[in-house]
């Protein structure tokens, strides 16, 4: 489990930097901040969904969370610092109830001093004439230090650790193509910039960080916006509608990609992925790549944003890389995400089941649950919404005589709850769609399907780990009503609702309610589990609600009466067996499985060698493994294998440059969509053999 802080689409999180004041007593909470803190504490205590009184247990949680947020790798504080701070472990609740948080400032300032001293020492080492490293020595460094790692015992142990960390950073740059002198210059700029950022921090930054170390205890989606953050976050911290079309967050000293906005520039370019880490940003095709490790989130965002039509180059550590040296440069042409390109769209493709003949299926891609509120308020009969667009597409596909529908919700991060309800209404008759339980435990079932179904034919819903929130409500309802088959991988697990409330200075975004399916199961944390599991593409331990340390748990409430349309129990075992057989033989599905396994094997590495020849061999071994996986697929498809990794990489680059950047659905090259079609074909065949009017509540109504 890793600690994810705040996303660019939500609020800036404090970076692991420190503060420039010389004395802890110089930092005092203002009267306005004290009043704000009291309001935050009282609001969290009375209105948050998670009942959590302000007591010693909360104090301990706050103490540990503050230390983890400041020093997640346990590389700055010393053991003696933690022992000195421990006197506050059960005292924070007393301070918070008084609107006071002075121990937090004290801890912050010790951290600031430790980090400032360390950065200055690193710069002194780099500026020394004897600073060249010997990369022929057999040394190694821990890849990941977390809350289970012991604190550094003393300065001597800290010096030894940071020597290796500095050497590792230098080796990463050398392996990326720099000389030792060039690597040294890059690191001097990096650490000098971090020192400057320490000096730029102010009291408002400190206060916001201290308060958010409290809000995170309640759940990861609850956060405090300072007045400055409240004013700027829509413009300066979100790339979702302008720029490259990506939502970013700060994690440790990196800027991490949370998700890619469908139909945005990054999505069309195709290389940037969720969980990639951005470590450098360059302007245009030839501009210098500026190192952004340790930068504040909004500063990285400012570098990435730019004029429409211009190019930004991102240096990233791919999510499946094992270390910082395995980077790549991604060039993306900036543009504004066109909302019309995010609209639902459809395509038709054929599936040959090899026995009964060909089926013609319609696929509807739903990238978001959107609603034109202004058009809706004006009572415009043609107002834009997910449901209206899908209704039209369904009618068109039925006119084309399709045998079934695949609704593709992959990468759909959610949106309007009313649209999730209305979309469900197109596929089921009247009945409840979702239950919502409030902080006071009252349960609302007002979100209902109110009309007869518009489409009554065979249905498959395709989801993945990035299908979240409203997508999970829809998929959960379809599954609970036995209206269609859910295929793909486990969804995100975002099953909570947040509201904004004003406090004396700024705003508090607070979780006040939780979604439950009509079956009584929560969509929170666990998400929706498919009826038929597809091969994993996204690592669920890197992306998803369960990766948040303080995510609300999965639970159940009473189910609500609802219809069951199709008896899948008779055909599911056979469907799974047919699917499993294809997974073992289909070259494209095997490629997905082999690629995922390779990434997981790399992730299991605990230590990183600081020997340059060892690292080169490890890189060559990984490239050979990637080449073998690709050639295995090509051989199975009767295609000529690549002779070496360079040939494979060149082919990928050429294919990307020549690729179609339109937002049309590519049915031919999407192995998971093709497999969804085969599952739907199997279902129709099996059901035609076993169906009687008694099998389905609606008899022949659902075909």
Assign residue 311 the CATH number of its domain. Answer: 2.30.42.10
Please name the residues in contact with 188: beta carbons below 8 A apart, sequence gap of 6 or more: 123, 126, 127
Residue 211 in any domain: the answer is yes
Q: Is 277 exposed, middle or buried (0-12, 13-18, 19+ CB in 10 A)?
A: buried
pLDDT at 663: 63
Task: Check whether residue 424 and residue 523 sit in a common domain.
Answer: yes
Residue 195 in any domain: the answer is yes
Residue 607 in any domain: the answer is no
Task: Check whether residue 178 and residue 226 sit in a common domain.
Answer: yes
Task: Check whether residue 502 and residue 419 sit in a common domain.
Answer: yes
Q: How many domains does the chain have?
A: 3
Task: Check whether residue 489 and residue 390 sit in a common domain.
Answer: yes
Structural domain for 526, as ranges: 344-578
Q: Which of 336, 366, 382 is the last residue of a domain?
A: 336
Q: Which of 291, 316, 336 is the last residue of a domain?
A: 336
The answer to whether the beta carbons of residues 313 and 281 sit under 8 Å apart is yes
Task: Check whether residue 243 and residue 226 sit in a common domain.
Answer: no
pLDDT at 199: 77
Tell me whether residue 268 is one of the annotated catalytic residues. no
Task: Check whether residue 326 and residue 443 sit in a common domain.
Answer: no
Residue 583 in any domain: the answer is no
Q: Is 377 exposed, middle or buried (0-12, 13-18, 19+ CB in 10 A)?
A: exposed
How far is residue 291's CA from residue 282's CA, in Å, rounded to a whole number?
9
The answer to whether the beta carbons of residues 369 and 412 sit under 8 Å apart is yes
pLDDT at 409: 97
Q: Is 643 exposed, middle or buried (0-12, 13-18, 19+ CB in 10 A)?
A: exposed
The residue from 168, 325, 346, 469 that is catalytic is: 469
Tell me whether residue 469 is one of the annotated catalytic residues. yes
Task: Check whether residue 221 and residue 313 sit in a common domain.
Answer: no
Task: Check whether residue 209 and residue 248 sit in a common domain.
Answer: no
Nearest partner of 596 among 535, 645, 545, 542, judged by Cα: 535
Per-residue burial over 122-156, b if 16 or more Cβ lie within 10 Å, else e, is: bbebbeeeebebebeeebebbeebeeeeebbeeee
Task: Check whether residue 126 and residue 183 sit in a common domain.
Answer: yes
CA angle 616, 618, 620 (to 5 degrees): 70
In angstroms and rounded to an integer, the radius of gyration of the C-alpha atoms of the chain is 27
Residue 178 in any domain: the answer is yes
Q: Model's pTM, two decimal places?
A: 0.87
| CATH number, position 507 | 3.90.226.10
Task: Check whether residue 163 and residue 296 sit in a common domain.
Answer: no
How do beta strands 140-142 and 607-609 pair?
antiparallel
pLDDT at 603: 81
Residue 645 in any domain: the answer is no
How far is residue 8's CA from residue 328's CA, in Å, rounded to a whole number?
22
The answer to whether the beta carbons of residues 198 and 115 sit under 8 Å apart is yes
How far is residue 142's CA from residue 145's CA, in Å, rounded to a whole number?
7
Task: Check whether residue 133 and residue 172 sit in a common domain.
Answer: yes
The residue from 429, 480, 531, 539 that is catalytic is: 480
pLDDT at 65: 96
Q: Which of 307, 336, 365 is the last residue of a domain?
A: 336
Residue 649 in any domain: the answer is no
The residue from 6, 256, 273, 494 that is catalytic is: 494
pLDDT at 670: 95
pLDDT at 94: 96
The answer to whether the beta carbons of residues 424 and 433 sit under 8 Å apart is yes
Task: Check whether residue 219 and residue 348 sit in a common domain.
Answer: no
pLDDT at 307: 84
Separation in Å, CA 490 to CA 72, 168, 406, 579: 28, 36, 17, 17
The answer to whether the beta carbons of residues 259 and 244 sit under 8 Å apart is no
Residue 550 in any domain: the answer is yes
Tell me whether residue 669 is one of the annotated catalytic residues. no
Separation in Å, CA 692 to CA 88, 134, 480: 69, 76, 21
Q: Which residues of the chain have pLDDT under 70?
A: 1-28, 231-242, 322, 338-340, 355-356, 656-663, 691-703
214, two tokens: 């409290």
């Amino acid at each position: 489990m890793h600690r994810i802080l705040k996303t660019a689409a939500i609020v800036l999180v404090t970076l692991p930097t420190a503060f420039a004041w010389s004395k802890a007593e110089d930092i005092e909470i203002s009267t306005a901040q004290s009043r704000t803190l009291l309001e935050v504490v009282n609001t969290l205590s009375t209105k948050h969904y998670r009942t959590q009184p302000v007591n010693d247990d909360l104090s301990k949680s706050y103490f540990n969370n503050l230390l983890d947020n400041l020093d997640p790798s346990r590389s700055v504080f010393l053991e003696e610092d933690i022992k000195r701070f421990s006197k506050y472990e059960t005292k924070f609740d007393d301070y918070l109830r008084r609107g006071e948080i002075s121990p937090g400032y004290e801890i912050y300032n010790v951290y600031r001093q430790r980090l400032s001293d360390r950065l200055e020492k690193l710069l002194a080492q780099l500026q020394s004439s004897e600073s060249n490293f010997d990369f022929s020595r057999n040394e190694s460094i821990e890849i990941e230090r977390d809350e289970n790692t012991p604190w550094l015992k003393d300065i001597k142990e800290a010096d030894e650790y940071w020597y290796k960390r500095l050497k590792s950073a230098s080796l990463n740059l050398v392996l990326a193509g720099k000389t030792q002198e060039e690597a040294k210059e890059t690191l001097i700029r990096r650490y000098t910039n971090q020192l400057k950022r320490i000096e730029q921090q102010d009291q408002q930054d400190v206060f916001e960080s201290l308060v958010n170390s409290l809000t995170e205890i309640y759940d990861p989606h609850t956060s405090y916006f300072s007045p400055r953050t409240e004013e700027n976050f829509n413009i300066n911290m979100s790339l979702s509608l302008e720029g490259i079309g990506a939502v970013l967050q700060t994690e440790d000293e990196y800027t991490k990609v949370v998700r890619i906005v469908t139909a945005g520039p990054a999505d069309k370019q195709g290389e940037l992925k969720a969980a990639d880490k951005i470590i450098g940003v360059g302007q245009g095709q030839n501009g210098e790549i500026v190192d952004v490790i340790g930068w504040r989130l909004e500063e990285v965002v400012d570098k990435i944003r730019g004029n429409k039509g211009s190019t930004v180059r991102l240096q990233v550590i791919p999510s499946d890389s094992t270390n910082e040296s395995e980077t790549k440069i991604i060039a993306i042409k900036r543009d504004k995400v066109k909302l019309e390109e995010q609209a639902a769209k459809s395509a038709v493709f054929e599936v040959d089941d090899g026995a009964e003949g060909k089926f013609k299926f319609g696929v509807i891609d739903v990238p978001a649950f959107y609603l034109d509120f202004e058009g809706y308020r004006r009572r415009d009969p043609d107002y834009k919404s997910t449901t209206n667009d899908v209704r039209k597409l369904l009618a068109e596909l039925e006119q084309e005589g399709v045998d079934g529908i695949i609704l593709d919700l992959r990468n759909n991060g959610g949106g309007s709850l009313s649209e999730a309800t209305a979309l469900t209404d197109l596929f089921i008759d009247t009945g409840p769609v979702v239950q919502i339980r409030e902080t006071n435990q009252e349960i609302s079932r007002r979100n209902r399907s109110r009309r007869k179904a518009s489409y009554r034919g065979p249905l498959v819903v395709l989801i993945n780990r990035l299908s979240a929130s409203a997508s999970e409500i829809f998929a959960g309802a379809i599954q609970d009503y036995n209206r269609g088959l859910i295929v793909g991988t486990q969804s995100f697990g975002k099953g909570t609702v947040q509201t904004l409330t004003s406090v004396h200075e700024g705003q508090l975004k607070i979780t006040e309610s939780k979604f439950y399916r009509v079956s009584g199961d929560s969509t929170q944390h666990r998400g929706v589990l498919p009826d038929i599991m597809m091969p994993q593409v996204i690592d669920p331990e890197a992306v998803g609600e369960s990766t948040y340390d303080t995510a609300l748990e999965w639970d159940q409430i009473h189910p609500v009466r609802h219809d069951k349309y199709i008896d899948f129990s008779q055909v599911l075992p056979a469907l799974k067996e047919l699917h499993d057989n294809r997974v073992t033989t289909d070259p494209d599905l095997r490629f997905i499985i082999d690629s995922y396994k390779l990434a997981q094997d790399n992730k299991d590495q605990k230590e990183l060698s600081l020997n340059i020849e060892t690292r080169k061999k490890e890189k060559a071994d990984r490239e050979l493994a990637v080449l073998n996986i690709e050639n295995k697929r090509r051989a199975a498809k009767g295609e000529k294998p690549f002779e070496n990794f360079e040939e494979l990489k060149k082919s990928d680059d050429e294919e990307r440059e020549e690729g179609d950047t339109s937002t049309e659905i590519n049915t031919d090259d999407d192995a998971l969509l093709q497999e969804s079609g085969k599952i739907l074909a199997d279902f129709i065949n099996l059901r035609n053999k076993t169906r009687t009017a008694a099998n389905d509540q609606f008899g022949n109504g659902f075909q």
